[in-house]
Chains A and B, each alone.
Chain A
Amino acid sequence: MTRTDLRVIGALGARSVKQTFRRPQLLAPIVVFPSILLAIQTAGAGQAVNLPGFPPVNSFLDFMLAGAMIQSTLLAGNSGGIALAVDIEMGFTDRLLAAPISRFGMVLGRLAGTAALSALAGIWFLVIGLIFGVHINEGVPGAIVMMLLVTLSGLAFGGIGAAVALRTGRASVVQGLFPLVFVILFLSSAFFPQDLLTGPAATIAQYNPLSFIVEGIRDPVISSLTWEVFGKAIASLVLVFAIGIALSSMALRRRIRMGG
């Protein structure tokens, strides 16, 4: 990758961040919805920490923070996909495809923006959490690990959103994945400890890559950093990222073949 390619990816990423801040409907799912859900859940289900099998935590918010962060990055990936589909619909991608740049740079620029937005959202939730009394067991190194995993989550989930956008070229289709995000979330350990899930949900959560990623973000808060949990989170992110990139690449090639 050349220096120019990196500058292009940076410029497209910056555009993507500005675009999100200038279009409230793209920003709301990343910050507002997860914040509201976090507030409702911690206010209304705080006694859940007393359930047998619930991991030892200082507060329910300590447990829920990772769930809110991962919800935010999933929705950031979805919003990034919507924005890319809007670019395709209005012909903006033609501008990029007609320029002498690597054509996949267009996707990487969007992913860079999604990762940056996820990092910003991660900082937002970290600050909110600290203000409302979250205690991070692993301190500053723990917070850094959390931010790293949140940022990489945005990158990984952004790849899936981009693949759907490139394949369909329609913002409404990508937007239609919104409910699916919640299904995936609730079939993981994002909002409930895995030990408290029962039946098929427990089985799915056990293998859901999202559970490994959430545990990686949650571990430094409620427990301690372990290479095993961190490694599983990274491996899950690499898997999701690889799938997203492969599907995006195929969809982009098809789109170019069909004429943009």
Chain B
Amino acid sequence: MFEGGIHAVAGVDLEVADREIYAFLGPNGAGKTTTVRMLTTLLRPTGGSAQVAGFDVVKDPAGVRRAIGVALQEAALDPLMTGRELIRLQATLHGLSRQEGNLKAEALLERVDLVDAADRQVGTYSGGMRRRLDLASALVHEPRVLFLDEPTTGLDPVSRRTIWEEVEDLNRDGTTVFLTTQYLEEADQLANRVGIIDEGRIVAEDTPGRLKEQIGHPHLEIKLIDGSPEEAEEVVGRFGKPLPRKDGAVLVELEGGAVKVAPVVRALDEAGLGVEALDLVEPTLDDVFLEKTGHHLEPEEPETGEDE
């Protein structure tokens, strides 16, 4: 609770398993960053309790800080430092010797493909390069848990994809990742589990697949070139629940998902019905968000979007 009685976060109850990627999905102002700041000991909670890597965030903040790596929103990097200097400084902050710091800097700069830019001041880096450097600096002490606060906000698709691949690699190497995002695709692509947060509360939490299943199965949209819609509905009704027609297209909910598409097509063909177009529409996390919160998730891009 902030001064003035404002509850930024209330009713957040979550558990992230070891080696999991957990995505906190929500719009700006939902409470994502406040939660991360509390879990990373940057903000002392006024109520409740939390443990990170087995350490209590209030009783043993030093233990938490030793176990975590943090890459905060908008890459808090000194534009006057070089990439190499930043990683060396981060190594010193985590108690590594000068020699260890130098070796780590070399390895991490290579890992995030910044060797050529290592001795340039960060102020000359693009947004994607800054994010990669921020990520590298968070890894200097090989943290058990990595916190990424909106790691790709404002990045172009290529840079975003690069960060995702790096996060997936880290997770494969055994790092638990807690990330916040306002991008549905990011949560869907990266996360083992997603927590949807709105107005400081978790409104839904599960794997992306199960969350989408909760609001319905994928449905098939069929546009006919030959034959009556009624006849087509009778045929596809054998495979799932028919839905109201949309723009003349026949709709059917497919409980079996994509594997049922081929049998449906064969059945329509056997019934002599010509198909002009066929589209399998999967529920999205936005549908889940809409269902749970009553409004769509519309990411807000920073005004100064960066490209490489």
| Chain A contacts to B: CB under 8 angstroms | 4, 7-8, 11-12, 15, 18-19, 22-23, 87, 90-92, 94-101, 256-260
Q: List 9 A-B contacts (CB under 8 A).
A: A90-B76, A94-B42, A95-B93, A97-B41, A99-B65, A100-B66, A257-B44, A259-B44, A260-B42
List the B side residues contacting A91 at CB < 8 Å: 72-74, 76
Q: Chain B residues with Cβ under 8 A from A101's Cβ?
A: 93
A15/B81 in contact, CB under 8 A: yes
Judge if B80 is at the interface, Cβ distance under 8 Å.
yes
B205 at the interface (CB under 8 A from A): no
**Nearest CB in chain B to that of A256: its residue:** B44
In the complex, the answer to whether B76 meets A94 with C-beta atoms within 8 Å is: yes
- Chain A residues near B41 (CB, 8 Å)? 97-98
Q: B213 at the A/B interface (Cβ < 8 Å)?
A: no
User: What is the minimal beta-carbon distance from A103 to any residue of chain B, in angstroms?
Assistant: 10
The number of chain B residues touching the other chain, given as a range, is 20 to 34
Query: For residue A106, which residue of chain B has the nearest CB?
Result: B93
Task: Give A94 Cβ to nearest chain B Cβ, in Å.
Answer: 6
Given A18-B80, A91-B74, A94-B72, verify A11-B65 contact (CB < 8 Å): no
Alpha-carbon separation in the docked complex, A90 to B81 (Å):
14
Q: Is the CB of B68 within 8 A of A19?
A: no
- A132 to B87 Cα, complex, angstroms: 44
Residues of B220-239 whose CB lies within 8 A of A: none
Which residues in chain B, 103-138, are within 8 Å of chain A measured between CB atoms? 121, 137
Contact A22/B62 with A91-B74, A98-B41 known, Cβ cut-off 8 Å: no
Q: Which residues of B contact A260 (CB under 8 A)?
A: 37, 42-43
Closest 9 CB pairs of A and B: A91-B76, A259-B43, A99-B93, A100-B65, A11-B92, A100-B66, A22-B80, A98-B70, A4-B95
Residue from the list A8, A12, A98 in contact with B68, Cβ < 8 A: A98
| Cα of A4 to Cα of B149 in the assembled complex, Å | 28
Q: Could you tell me the distance between the alpha carbons of A11 and B78 in the complex, rounded to whole angstroms? A: 14
